[in-house]
Amino acid sequence: MERLENLKLSLDQLKLSGTKENLIKVLIEISKLLPPSDDVAITLGKKGTHEYVIDRRGLAIITTSQDEYLPFLSSSEKRISMEQLPDDVAKKVMSDISSLLIQLRDILKAQARRNPSYGSLASEVDLIVKG
């Protein structure tokens, strides 16, 4: 469980110094723990029509818009570097880091139904959430 140890260390660094750089380290460790699926992402926050999410491949912006003449929503995804996360979204995430860990735990629990090896990882993340 070296990956989980890296997450714990990065969370400790974030608690000591709540900087965007330390948050980025946490986000990188969380993305490494996500199952290999394009259907899984953790929401960091919304800003207007943009939703910032992390998945196995890193950080992305999902932009949603309503088509002018049709009652449909369309969305597009754009990959950005972790450093491009807006400061206000980063501050919001840092103030409620437990919600990110809860989303991670829930994703791992759901994945454990398909692949039991994720069960112990979900349990350990749950200990961090409660810790």
Q: Please report, rounded to a whole number, the percentage of residues in the chain having pLDDT higher than 90.
A: 79
Stretch 9-25: mean pLDDT: 95
Tens of pLDDT, residues 92-102: 999 999 999 99
Q: Of residues 68 and 119, which shows the higher confidence score?
A: 119
- Three-state SS at 48: coil
Q: Is the pLDDT of residue 72 over 80?
A: no
Stretch 23-52: mean pLDDT: 93
Q: Write down the pLDDT at residue 57.
A: 94
Stretch 58-71: mean pLDDT: 84
The Cα 54–Cα 59 span in angstroms is: 4
Residue holding tokens 């959430």? 129
Q: Write down the pLDDT at residue 45.
A: 95
CA distances to 8, 22, 71, 122 from 14, rounded to whole Å, are 10, 5, 43, 21
